[in-house]
Amino acid sequence: MPRPVKCRRVECLPPYERYKPAGVHCENNTVLALSIAEFEAMRLKDVEGLSQAECAEHMQVSRQTFQLILERARKTMVSAIVQGYSIQIGGGNYATPEDLRGCGRRCAKARTMEEKAELCPFGRRE
């Protein structure tokens, strides 16, 4: 049985959920999925200009995991640009700083966001 995926720490959510090429109708276009963690990886590395180690620390993952997330995100973006596909941003296992704040008592022992939602009266329930 594989290990459960840990939540990736995300500081900034995307301003829009979908991007598409100009002049193309969404219903006639293939849509590629980009997770929130992949969006955050590209933002930290390519926009903020942080090193791989700093990015991994921000997202609270290992450097290898960060590199895999970034490679997957870049592959999705390049495929969408080259082939004229739309990009849908959303989903994945992530936690914002507000999610991680909580009440500071019972939720500190939670290992997943689901456990935190059950244990903490102030946790997000999405």
**Per-residue tens of pLDDT for the chain, all 126 residues:** 777 767 788 998 999 999 988 888 767 789 999 999 999 999 999 999 999 999 999 998 999 999 999 999 999 999 999 999 999 999 888 888 776 655 544 455 556 666 666 665 444 444
Please check whether residue 95 is in contact with residue 113, taking contact to mean a CB–CB distance below 8 angstroms: yes
Examine residue 52 and state whether it is found in any structural domain, yes or no: yes
Provide the pairing of β-strand 18-19 with 86-89: antiparallel
Examine residue 125 and state whether it is found in any structural domain, yes or no: no
Examine residue 124 and state whether it is found in any structural domain, yes or no: no
Distance CA 107, CA 119 (A): 6
Residue 92 is predicted with a pLDDT of: 85
Examine residue 1 and state whether it is found in any structural domain, yes or no: no
Residue 101 is predicted with a pLDDT of: 58
Examine residue 2 and state whether it is found in any structural domain, yes or no: no
Examine residue 37 and state whether it is found in any structural domain, yes or no: yes
The parent domain of residue 71 ranges over: 8-119
Tally of domains in the chain: 1
Residue 93 is predicted with a pLDDT of: 82
- pLDDT digits 0-9 by tens, 89-114: 998 888 887 766 555 444 555 566 66
